[in-house]
Amino acid sequence: MAVYDLEEQDQLEDLKAWWKQWGNTISGVVIAVCVGVIGGAGLALVVAAAGREQASVLYNAVSAAARANDVAKAKDAMAQLADKYGGTGYARRARR
């Protein structure tokens, strides 16, 4: 083991005492921040999935109306799809 001089030993003891006093608080804050970031990312995924699901329902309405040659229903469903979920793949696919 390396031999430390007295100043280094004092610094190590100070660090150990500081960590003993503040270590749990710092660890708790770091864990809370990590949980918050992960929770926020999870919430964003859930919200995005719900939006894609609703876009899917509207896309199916556009497809069904097109197969039934019901232009009015197709236009209405397409307008809703473009307004609410214009950035999704469903909206791009329905425009074709």
Does 86 reside within a domain? Answer: yes
Contact between 53 and 84 (Cβ < 8 Å): no
> Tens of pLDDT along 4-56?
688 888 999 999 999 999 999 999 999 999 999 999 999 999 988 888 899 89
> Tens of pLDDT along 54-75?
989 988 998 999 899 988 988 8
Does 14 reside within a domain? Answer: no
- The span from the CA of 3 to the CA of 23, in Å, is 26
Does 37 reside within a domain? Answer: no
E-assigned strand segments in the chain: none
Query: Does residue 1 carry a pLDDT above 90?
Result: no
Mean pLDDT, the chain, rounded, equals: 89
> Tens of pLDDT along 73-95?
888 888 888 888 888 888 888 77
Q: Which domain holds residue 84?
A: 45-96
Measuring CA to CA, which residue among 47, 79, 78 is closest to residue 65? 78
The number of domains in the chain is: 1
- The span from the CA of 47 to the CA of 52, in Å, is 9
**Per-residue pLDDT at 71:** 87
For residue 46, the Cα-to-chain-centroid distance in whole angstroms is 7
**Per-residue pLDDT at 4:** 66
